[in-house]
Structure 1
Amino acid sequence: MSDDEFRGLRRAADYQFGGGGGTALFAGADALDVTHTSSGRPRQVHASDGRIATYGDDGRFRLGLAGGTRLLDAFDGPRHRVVVGDESEPFIREGRNAFAKFVQSADGALRPGDEALVVHEDGYLLAVGRAELPGSGMDDFETGMAVKVRQGAED
C-alpha cells in the first residue's frame, strides 16, 4: 500500500468517525492487507486480528469486528456506542439485530446510517452494525430496530 493510499484511508476514517478514528483503525501501513477493486479503489482492509472494514462505494467504511474493537479501545464512551443488557446479548452475538426495546443508552450523536458499536453494559463488544434510529431517541423507543447488526461477536 502506498503512503498516499494509507493517508487517504486515515483521512476518510477521521471524517467518518471523528478525530482519532484513522489512527485507531489504521495504526500502521505495514500491518494492513488491502484488497482493491478492478479499478484500483480500496475495498477490504484486513489485519492480523481480522477484517477492519470494507470501504463502500459511497466512501464510507463498514466496520468489521476487528475495526469495532479498535474503535472501542480508542474512544471513551458513549462515542459510537449502543449499550444493551443481558437479555439481548446472546441474540446480538449471533448476528441478530438490536431492538430499541433493549437499548439502555446510546451515543446521542448517532444518526440513522452511522456505524454503531453494540456494547454490553459491562463494556465489551457484542456486534457492529448500522444505526437505524437516532441515538438521542434509541432508549426512548419501545419498538423498532435500533441497530441493523452486520457482524456479531460469537464466542
Structure 2
Amino acid sequence: MSNDDKNLKKVRIMADIQFGKGCGEILFPDGVTFQLSKTKRVRQIQYNGKHMATVRAKDGMLTLSIDGAVALHGMLAKPASRVVICEDAAPFVSKGKTAFAKHVMNVDPELRAGDEVIVVDESDTIMATGQLLLSPHEAIRMDRGPAVDVRRGIAQS
C-alpha cells in the first residue's frame, strides 16, 4: 500500500467520524492529492485542483473549504452539519464575517461546540464554513455573542 493510499484511507476515516458515515468517499474521491508538512503529515487535501479540506495541526480535525462544503452539502440531509442564519446576516457571513448567535435560526442538534460546520441561509444556500463556538442549544437561545467563527465565506476572493 503506497503512502497516498494510506493517507487517503486515513482522511476518509477522519471525515466519516467527523461528518458521518460515507462522507469520506464523497469529500475525498479517488484521485485526491495531498500537501504534506515537513514531518510528512497530511496538511491539505485537493481534488482536481480544488482545495477540499485542511487537517488542523493542533487536533487533527478537518476544516472544510467552500469546495469541500459544497461536496458534503449535497450528500448530508438537512440539518446535518449546518447552522442556519437569517437573511439579514447572510451578506456579511458570506464575506467571511462572524456569525452571531442573534442571527442563528437553526442548528443541527447533533453538533457540539468546536465542530466544523456549514453555514447556510434559510433557503439552504451555502454562505460559509467555520467552527461552531457554542452548543446548538446556546446558539439558538442566546441573543448576543459569536456563534460561528467563520473561516471562509463564499464571497471572499
Conserved in 2, the CA contact under 8 Å of 1:83 and 1:120? Answer: yes
Conserved in 2, the CA contact under 8 Å of 1:132 and 1:147? Answer: yes
How many Å separate the matches in 2 of 1:49 and 1:86? Answer: 32
Residue identity over aligned pairs, in percent, reads: 33
Structure 1, unaligned runs of 5 or more: none
SS at match of 2:140: coil
CA shift for structure 1 position 119: 0.3
**TM-score, normalized by length of structure 1?**
0.93
The 1:134–1:89 alpha-carbon spacing in structure 2 relative to 1, beyond 3 Å, is: same
Q: Are positions 1:21 and 2:20 aligned together? A: no
Conserved in 1, the CA contact under 8 Å of 2:52 and 2:68? Answer: yes
Conserved in 2, the CA contact under 8 Å of 1:109 and 1:136? Answer: no
**TM-score, normalized by length of structure 2?**
0.92
Deviation sequence 1:47-101 (CA, Å, 0-9, x none): 2362111112221101111111111111001011000121001100110010010
Q: Are positions 1:124 and 2:136 aligned together? A: no
Conserved in 2, the CA contact under 8 Å of 1:127 and 1:151? Answer: yes
Q: Are positions 1:91 and 2:88 aligned together? A: no
**CA RMSD, aligned part only?**
1.4
* Deviant stretches of 4+, over 6 Å: none
Question: Which residues of 2 match residues 12-91 of structure 1 at below 5 A?
Answer: 12-28=14-30, 30=31, 32-48=32-48, 50-57=50-57, 58-91=59-92
How many Å separate the matches in 1 of 2:75 and 2:147? Answer: 23
The letter of the residue matching 2:91 is P
SS at match of 1:138: helix
Aligned residues: 153
User: For structure 1, which segment, 3-12 or 96-105, has the greater mean C-alpha deviation from structure 2 after superposition?
Assistant: 3-12
SS at match of 1:118: strand
How many Å separate the matches in 2 of 1:45 and 1:22? Answer: 12
